[in-house]
Amino acid sequence: MKNLKLSLVCAVLLSGLSSYAIDGNGDLNLHVLKTNGKLITFAINKVQKANLAIYAKDGSLIYTENAYGENGILRTFSLEEFPEGTYFLEVEDNTKKVIHEITINDFSTVLSSKAVSSVNKAVPAKSTSVAAR
């Protein structure tokens, strides 16, 4: 009976850990820090180098930059010149690419903190040698 209770407690703890990871608390986790009219500030934790790009809804590239930060990336974008509509912020590093939605209207800009798309990149396997006799 004691082993059953211990197993149940372990199962609940492990399921909690996996749901915590699913919520986007891993790499390329974007945090919207501040919005003020058409000015947005966001941070990407645990990433020192990433490519940032903004695309229009039709897929055309509007802006791109290579962003760097010692303990993460902090950026503020002024979207004053952007017409109303839906845009997409793509954040990509060596292992993952995530896309967040940006909605702009007359008075405000909203950057979704939850990714609308997330793709893990394949990591090449390390080369190993096998000795044959």
Which residue ranges form the domains of the chain, and what is each CATH number?
26-120 (2.60.40.3080)
User: How high is the pLDDT of residue 34?
Assistant: 86
Q: What is the C-alpha end-to-end distance of the chain, expressed in Å? A: 52
User: How high is the pLDDT of residue 88?
Assistant: 97
**What is the rounded average pLDDT of the residues 19-32?**
55
User: How high is the pLDDT of residue 130?
Assistant: 62
pLDDT at 3 over 60: no
Tell me the pLDDT of the chain averaged across its residues: 78
User: How high is the pLDDT of residue 127?
Assistant: 61
pTM: 0.71
- 43-75 CB burial, b ≥16 within 10 A, e <16: bbbebeebebbbbeeeeeeeeeeebeeeeebeb
- Structure-block tokens of residue 98: 């995530």
- Structure-block tokens of residue 53: 């790009």
Confidence band for 26, pLDDT divided at 50, 70 and 90: very low
Sequence-ordered list of residues with C-beta below 8 angstroms from that of 61, at least 6 positions apart, any chain: 53, 54, 55
Q: Specify whether the CB–CB gap between 38 and 80 falls below 8 A.
A: yes
